Structure 1
Amino acid sequence: MKRMKRGQPDFDCFHVQFRVAGSRALFSDPVFRIGGERASYPVPTEEALVGITSSVYWKPSIRWIVDKVRVLNRIAMEPISVKPRNFINGWNVSGKRRAKEATSRPSNTLSSFAYLQDPAYEIYAHFEFSNDPLYKNDRNPLKHYNMFIQSLHHGGRFDVFLGTRECPAYVTDIQVDEASYYQQYQEPMDFGFMFNRFIYPEYPDNLQNDDPIGKTIMHVVMNQGVIDFAALHQAGNDRTDFFTKRK
């Protein structure tokens, strides 16, 4: 990606693309977290990809929307045994304030986390301007596009993670003609229903009423290594449920 100059189409200024990779990833499946263990989805969720893009460049005047993601490496799981600390009533059981509970319960338990091994993705996204009038003077797409490119070349404005903090990642430009492991597969790969992303009330609804926060569940299908979120939304593969009213 290169910087744009004045006079180029504004449509191109809203769209970005970049590559992210790391040694491992953990896009947690909420079903496995109930028992204290964690297992990753086979592919990243849209919410995780929005978080990665926001880590590269974030401004309150814009919001990121992921169009599609391209899976480059083979999907492989790597189990790792860990010993997470036990907590009772908000205190570590190995601390002196809960010595009585520590004698009745062990300070560590053995758990198994399932990580994705050597993940690499190409993310295609675009941004939209916020409706908040506080940022009405910060709606220059060319400026935000060039600032994103500068942040990308410096590795992002914030630390980039693939799902969780113990999975750091690196962002770079998309490499030309980089092949995907799954581009040889003609049949689509069905991953079933997955958590997709959260739905937050936008301005002025987030201040004037008690609109609840929602979550989206999506039937994810990958075609030759590409998950087109925009097409899946348009085809009706997602369903949004809302939590209870905010207090």
Structure 2
Amino acid sequence: MSANSVCLQVWGDYACFTRPEMKVERVSYDVMTPSAARGVLEAIFWKPQILWRITQIDVLKPIRWASVRRNEVANVISADNVKTAMKRGQGTLGLYVEEDRQQRAALLLREVAYRIHARFELTAHAGPDDTPAKYAAIFRRRAEKGQCFNQPYLGCREFSAAFAWADTAEPEPVPIPETRDLGWMLYDLEYGGTEPTPCFFRAQLDNGTLRIPAWDSEEIAR
């Protein structure tokens, strides 16, 4: 592993990496997405001086599904109402769950476990004392101690994730022996314009390993 590389194992009872093309019912991708993996790492350690890039995701448990029905609210608080309340210093921003509740089906993953391979890049905020080895050591120390800024989750906040540093000195769990074409998968959001732009890539599971192309690769569809 290079000085700016990390490896982390995450697992949980349920996960839902929602497909954006499903407008009403939540349907998960078969495998954790790069953006979800980045969110796990940022929950453990993030600074303006670094930028996480996911390079590989290993699937450590068979892909299993569960169908459930969940209570959700049908609407969100209006952004215009929020702006008006900020200007006037008062306003009605409440959202009453009892009046806006609806049941929706969700197709979730169950009993999941992944090994995330990632590296980080130093940004323009980095100073002369900021080195890759420094931040890699901080991340490893926090992961080994179970420390995080907020609880990592597997796609949806209600599906919390347990995590541990993947110690290369111990026998590592072997990825599942499965190869399949996962189709187009969400890579991440690009924040270059007025609105975030979703980016996709063609995901291929090769003997339980999902290799993630570089952010500036031609394989990324923007």
Give me the TM-score of the superposition, normalised by structure 2: 0.81
Q: How far apart are the structure 2 equivalents of 1:46 and 1:230?
A: 10
Q: How far apart are the structure 2 equivalents of 1:94 and 1:141?
A: 46
In the alignment, structure 1 residue 64 sits paired with structure 2 residue 52 = yes
**How far apart are 1:153 and its partner, in Å?**
1.1
Change (3 A) 1:88 1:64: closer
**How far apart are 1:148 and its partner, in Å?**
0.6
Match of 1:173 in 2: 165
Amino acid aligned to 2:155: G
- Greater strand content: 2
Aligned mate of 1:39, from 13, 24, 27? 27
More contact order relative to length (CA 8 Å, sep ≥ 6): 2
Q: How far apart are the structure 2 equivalents of 1:231 and 1:43?
A: 18
Amino acid aligned to 2:164: T
Stretches of structure 2 that go unaligned for 5 or more consecutive residues are 79-93
Match of 2:84 in 1: none
Change (3 A) 1:38 1:230: same
Give me the TM-score of the superposition, normalised by structure 1: 0.74
Stretches of structure 1 that go unaligned for 5 or more consecutive residues are 1-10, 96-101, 202-209, 241-247
Secondary structure of the residue aligned to 2:173 is coil
Secondary structure of the residue aligned to 2:221 is strand
Secondary structure of the residue aligned to 1:145 is helix
Match of 2:203 in 1: 220
Give a deviation string over 1:174-193, Cα, whole Å, max 9, x none. 26231222x2x4xx410111
Change (3 A) 1:233 1:72: farther
For the pair shown, which has the larger CA radius of gyration, 1 or 2?
A: 1
CA RMSD in angstroms comes to 2.4
Match of 2:139 in 1: 148
Alignment: residue pair count: 203
**How far apart are 1:14 and its partner, in Å?**
0.6
Q: How far apart are the structure 2 equivalents of 1:68 and 1:88?
A: 35
Change (3 A) 1:231 1:127: closer
**How far apart are 1:131 and its partner, in Å?**
1.8
Match of 2:213 in 1: 230
Amino acid aligned to 1:148: F
Give a deviation string over 1:28-61, Cα, whole Å, max 9, x none. 11122x22x2111111111111111111211110
